[in-house]
Amino acid sequence: MKTLLDENQLNDGVEKLADAINAHYGDKPLTIICILTGSIVLGADLIRKLRMPTRVGVLQTSSYEGTERGDLTINAEMMLDIKDREVLLIDDIFDTGHTLDKVTALVADYGPTSLQSAVLLCKTGRQEVEYRPEFIAFDIPDEFVVGYGLDYNDEYRNLPYLACLEDSDLEPNA
């Protein structure tokens, strides 16, 4: 496994992301919706750097089997009431963009005052939708990455750094 972003780089990136979000919303109360499971580490680090009154909720999406994309499922059973609230979606990575594109459309139906999104990573040249997140910490090359919340078959989320998975790391027949 090859390290792409170490702990210091991640910390600096999250700090800048928080600065941009704080500058944009000012003192306005904000509702953060973390998209599980990949955004748990980013969410935990980011919310502690936000200065406005903040509510935190979650919803869950899943679309990957190993390193292959499958059908997207969205579980919004744990959504907060966000009617007439400023809402910021948090996700780990913007890849093809289908996840945030679909989640944004679904969450918009709950009637927020505003709806934006922030991601840790954006994979260069992979996007298949018009939608773009308003806040991006890092643009990265088109490689499958793990760590800092991102998984391969539910492993590696606990790594404190971000790494590229190499062929020798893949499970046989996965």
Among 21, 59, 115, 145, binds ligand 5GP (CB under 6 A): 145
Catalytic residue status for 81: no
Among 32, 58, 93, 136, binds ligand 5GP (CB under 6 A): 93
Among 18, 36, 91, 122, binds ligand 5GP (CB under 6 A): 91
Q: Identify the active-site residue in 45, 91, 95, 101.
A: 95
**Interhelix angle for 7-25 vs 40-47, to 10°?**
60
* C-alpha dihedral sign at 104, 12, 125, 170: negative
DSSP string, 74-89: EE-TTPPP-TTSEEEE
In what order do the strands lie in the sheet containing 30-36? 68-75, 54-65, 30-36, 86-94, 114-123, 135-140
Nearer to ligand 5GP, 30 or 162 (CB): 162
63 binds ligand 5GP (CB under 6 A): yes
64 binds ligand 5GP (CB under 6 A): yes
Which range, of 40-48, 79-87, 104-112, 142-150, touches ligand 5GP by CB under 6 A? 142-150
Give the per-residue contact string, 59-98, with Mg ion (x = CB under 5 A; - = no). -----x----------------------------------
CA atoms within 13 A on the CB side of 21: 35
Quote the least distance from Cβ 6 to ligand 5GP, whole Å: 17
18 binds ligand 5GP (CB under 6 A): no
Nearer to ligand 5GP, 11 or 67 (CB): 67
Give CA–CA dist 119/42, Å, rounded: 9
Give CA–CA dist 97/26, Å, rounded: 28
Residue 21 CB coordination number (10 Å): 23
Report yes or no: 159 and 1 within 8 Å, Cβ to Cβ: no
Residues annotated as catalytic are 95
Which residues are near Mg ion by CB under 5 A? 38, 64, 151
